[in-house]
Amino acid sequence: MLVRGLRGLQHLGLNLGSLVSGLYVVLLAVVLRLGPGPQARWCLAAMAVLASLAWLSSLRRARTIAELATSRIASAAQGYVELMGHASSDMEQLIYTPMGGMACIWYRYKLYSKDNAKHEWRQVGSGTSSSTFDISDATGVCTVDPDHAEVVGAEVRTSYPGNEKLVEECLFGGSTIYVLGDFSTLGGANSALSLREDVSALLGLWKQDRAGLHARFDLDRNGTVDLQEWELARQLAIQTVEREHREIRQQPGVHVLRAPADGRLFLISALSPRSLHNHFLRWSVFHLVIGTAAVAGWVVLA
């Protein structure tokens, strides 16, 4: 259940490292509040299990990034791939953060209000963009749909408008972007075309124009398109549709990268693959230390 829960949170595009760290703080606060006893031991056991799962998850992420080679957009295989490219800086591609008004290709923000009574910041608003953006390399362009992505390495900017605190994370146009997810090409050579259905539709269209149908295929001018003449019409329709299909498949397709349907890691980052690999390795060490400390605490309280 816990593993499924972590995967579900990943699918929502949450940063698991920060989220799990927050849970560590909550569990530790409960332990300190309860003091020595069986309830505190249960909290430490939960922390140890959570740390073990987070450790494995971070190692799995690091291994996935290390094992996948970066593909070229034009020659990338359909399916799970790693791409790197420059984000488009065209004005039509840029969006603006709703609070700070910064031009970017992706943003996430959190708005806090000062609780003077408790002398702490309380979150009062948040949001994440879902607009698609393009990345390009020397071979082509790919449209990225960021819904459900885990975004790492975005630039963080903090401001204090009035009595509030605004934290904005952004990816900017013109920057180098790393993406890991499900790659597909729409149209072009991968177009889903049905010869039978399209021939039937074309013949149906010709039938609607009876005068034109007879002018083209009533070769003996007896006022009726017989079976032999209809077979000629059918062969012409097949040739016409096959030519149209060839033309469609010769056109360049639209490359799209989005969240994998099977729940695998969907990652967008401004970091390089090596930096990302090291990033997740550091998180794995952090979770291992927390888990070890939780087990040690459990033993001490036994």
The predicted-structure confidence for 169-215, as pLDDT tens digits, reads as follows 999 999 999 999 999 988 666 667 788 888 899 888 988 988 888 88
Query: CB-side exposure of 195: number of CA atoms within 13 Å?
Result: 10
Q: Which of 128, 133, 129 is nearest to 145 (CA)?
A: 133
* Model confidence, pTM: 0.72
Residue 1 is predicted with a pLDDT of 45
The predicted-structure confidence for 56-72, as pLDDT tens digits, reads as follows 989 999 999 999 999 99
Residue 10 is predicted with a pLDDT of 47
What are the residues whose beta carbons fall under 8 Å from the beta carbon of 294, sequence distance 6 or more? 44, 45, 47, 48, 51
Q: Across all residues in the chain, what is the average pLDDT? A: 85
Evaluate the CA torsion angle 154, 159, 161, 164 in order and state its sign: positive
- Where residue 35 falls (left for φ over 0; alpha for ψ -120 to 50; beta otherwise) is left
Q: What average pLDDT does range 228-235 have in this prediction?
A: 88
- Residues 263, 10 contacting (CB under 8 angstroms): yes
Q: What is the DSSP string of 188-245?
A: GGG----HHHHHHHHHHHHHH-HHHHHHHH-TT-SS---HHHHHHHHHHHHHHHHHHH
Max avg pLDDT among 108-117, 152-161, 172-181:
172-181
Return the structure tokens found at 34: 């309860």
Q: Which of 1, 270, 224, 258 is nearest to 149 (CA)?
A: 258
Give CA torsion, residues 278, 280, 285, 288, to 10 deg. -160
- Residues 70, 156 contacting (CB under 8 angstroms): no
- Residues 301, 34 contacting (CB under 8 angstroms): no
Rounded-to-integer distance, Cα 243 and Cα 9, Å:
48
Residue 272 is predicted with a pLDDT of 93
Q: In terms of pLDDT, which residue wins out, 57 or 11? A: 57
Rounded to a whole number of angstroms, the distance between the first and last alpha carbons of the chain is: 27
Residue 212 is predicted with a pLDDT of 86
Across 14-28, 130-144, 265-279, least confident range: 14-28
Residue 143 is predicted with a pLDDT of 95
Return the structure tokens found at 236: 């012409």
Residue 302 is predicted with a pLDDT of 64
Rounded-to-integer distance, Cα 73 and Cα 76, Å:
5
Three-class secondary structure of residue 257 per DSSP: strand
